[in-house]
Amino acid sequence: MRLLSLLAGAGLVLVAGCVPAPSTPPPAPARRPVPVPAPPPPPASKPTLRADWRDWPLTPGDWRYRAGSATYGAAGGAPLATFRCDLTTRRVTLARTGSAPASLTLRTTSAVRAVPATPDPSAPGMLAMAFAANDSFLDALGFSRGRFVIEGGGMPVLVIPAWPEILRVVEDCRK
């Protein structure tokens, strides 16, 4: 009887293996979405600037004062900006790196001014903006809360700290 049960079980297994294949095709494999590459990060040389200029990072450098002038830039490098007093004309010149004439915008916490800038004959590679020594905008630059900005002309933005060296030059010219 056992043998009969085993043969019957084996026969069922053989019969089950003879079932015809289903007439519907198997489902298509699921498509995987194609990954979209992330946008490239902004270039390291040009930081992303927030909407409020007072939050922009300072341009690296320090002010250095010498009687009648102050320069801003990295130690050992060419200056990025200068303040100079011409005692004979009682004019203060603010110069920044650049060579093509442009209208530059100066921003302080209390004032904004568009100023024409022309190549500086006494400093090749710099653009000069001249102010009368008694121009109150010079005080706005020196007393700006922490920084002021020079921008425009397609040149890199300079975010410069408003340190006492600026007002020392202005005072040299007002004496």
Q: For 37-53, how does the pLDDT look when each residue is reduced to its tens digit (9 = 90+)?
A: 766 655 544 555 667 88
Does some domain include residue 2? no
Tell which residue, 172, 175, 158, has the closest CA to residue 72: 158
Task: Give the count of domains, the chain.
Answer: 1
Structure tokens, 77: 């490098």
Does some domain include residue 60? yes
Does some domain include residue 166? yes
Beta carbons of 166 and 142 less than 8 angstroms apart: yes
Does some domain include residue 72? yes
The pLDDT value recorded for residue 175 is 84
Per the structure, the complete domain to which residue 102 belongs is given by 55-174
The pLDDT value recorded for residue 48 is 57
Does some domain include residue 29? no
> Which residue type does 115 have?
V
The strand pair at 69-73 and 81-86 is best described as: antiparallel
Does some domain include residue 138? yes
pLDDT digits (tens, 9 = 90+) for 86-107: 999 999 999 999 988 899 999 9
